């Protein structure tokens, strides 16, 4: 696996936040058994870069590139550009109401989107777990905190506004994913080691939102933040 093969796509036309390819690659390198074939859901795929990566760099048979903000038509154009029509299916859908059957996926991937919809209590148990086959994996990466904050700094409120409640620590996410799953899953949570590189790739795009993020990171938020990697295996 080599994320640098995709560097021509690390631009404001394709990246929608910190470099999702680097984060996905890290998860796959550290969890090589997570995608060994079968059908994969890439939930919150954005402009389908992560889906393209899964289709090209793993043994997945079919990747459902699923997003709410980007249309299926736009992502179909990307799929055609990469000549991956036989391996990828673009879907426009809300994570709260996915159009898939239970026990349909061998793996679920969600890079830098799960926190937008997955903070509701027992969300994983109710919405994600049923979709996974027994033995299947979920690989999730969310922006998070090095530790839970007793008091949220004002600049963090200013930066995130109404999304501030979606940022949490490794320990919080470990407990949260487990809610309602009883002994049906095994969960591993750890901190990414690519914080600076992923943010810098995003800032280098020159996207106006990226440049705004850079201002807050430089004011000290970078010392509070991390990327939380969550690996779930359904028993």
Q: Per the structure, how many domains does the chain have?
A: 1
pLDDT at residue 41, rounded to an integer:
99
Tell me how far CA of residue 133 lies from CA of 101, 180, 181, in angstroms: 11, 17, 14
DSSP H or E run through 176: helix 170-178
Q: If pLDDT is split at 50, 70 and 90, which confidence band does 23 have?
A: very high
* pLDDT for the residue 183: 95
Q: Is the pLDDT of residue 4 over 90?
A: no
Q: How many other C-beta atoms lie within 10 A of the C-beta of residue 127?
A: 17
Residues 11-21 have a mean pLDDT of 97
Reported as a pLDDT band with limits 50, 70 and 90, residue 195 is very high
> What digits encode the pLDDT tens for the residues 39-72?
999 999 999 999 999 999 999 999 999 999 999 9
pLDDT digits (tens, 9 = 90+) for 143-165: 999 999 999 999 999 999 999 99
Q: What is the pLDDT of residue 198?
A: 97
Length of the chain: 235
Taking phi over 0 as left and psi of -120 to 50 as alpha, with beta for the rest, 189 belongs to beta
**pLDDT-derived band of residue 117, with 50, 70 and 90 as boundaries?**
very high
- What local confidence, expressed as pLDDT, does residue 32 receive? 96
**What average pLDDT does this structure show over 85-98?**
98
Domain membership of residue 157 as a residue range: 3-234
Q: How confident is the model at residue 3 (pLDDT cuts 50, 70, 90)?
A: confident
Looking at residue 78, which CATH number applies to its domain? 3.40.50.150
- Mean pLDDT, residues 173-193 taken together: 97
pLDDT band at residue 2 using 50, 70 and 90 as cut-offs: confident
The answer, as to whether pTM is greater than 0.95, is yes
Residue 1 pLDDT greater than 80, yes or no: no
| Contacts of residue 222, Cβ cutoff 8 Å, sequence gap at least 6 | 195, 196, 199
Mean pLDDT of 23-38: 97
Mean pLDDT of the chain, nearest integer: 97
Per cent of the chain over pLDDT 90 is 98
- Rounded distance between C-alpha atoms, residue 145 and residue 22, angstroms: 19
């Amino acid at each position: 696996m080599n994320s640098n093969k995709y560097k021509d796509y690390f631009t404001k036309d394709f990246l929608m936040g910190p470099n999702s390819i680097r984060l996905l690659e890290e998860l796959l390198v550290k969890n090589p058994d997570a995608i060994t074939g079968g059908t994969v859901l890439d939930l919150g795929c954005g402009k389908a870069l992560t889906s393209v990566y899964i289709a090209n760099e793993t043994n997945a048979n079919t990747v459902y590139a699923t997003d709410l903000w980007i249309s299926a038509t736009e992502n179909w154009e990307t799929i055609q550009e990469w000549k991956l029509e036989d391996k990828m299916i673009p879907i426009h859908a809300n994570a709260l109401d996915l159009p898939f059957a239970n026990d349909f996926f061998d793996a679920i991937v969600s890079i830098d989107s799960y926190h937008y919809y997955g903070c509701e209590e027992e969300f994983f148990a109710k919405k994600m777990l049923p979709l996974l086959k027994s033995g299947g994996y979920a690989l999730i990466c969310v922006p998070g905190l090095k530790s839970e904050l007793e008091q949220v700094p004002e600049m963090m409120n200013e930066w995130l506004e109404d999304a501030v409640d979606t940022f949490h620590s490794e320990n919080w996410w470990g407990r949260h994913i487990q809610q309602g799953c009883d002994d049906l899953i095994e969960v591993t949570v750890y901190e990414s080691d690519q914080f600076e590189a992923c943010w810098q790739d995003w800032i280098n795009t020159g996207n106006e939102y990226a440049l705004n993020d850079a201002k807050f990171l430089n004011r000290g938020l970078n010392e509070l933040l991390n990327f939380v990697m969550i690996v779930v295996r359904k028993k």
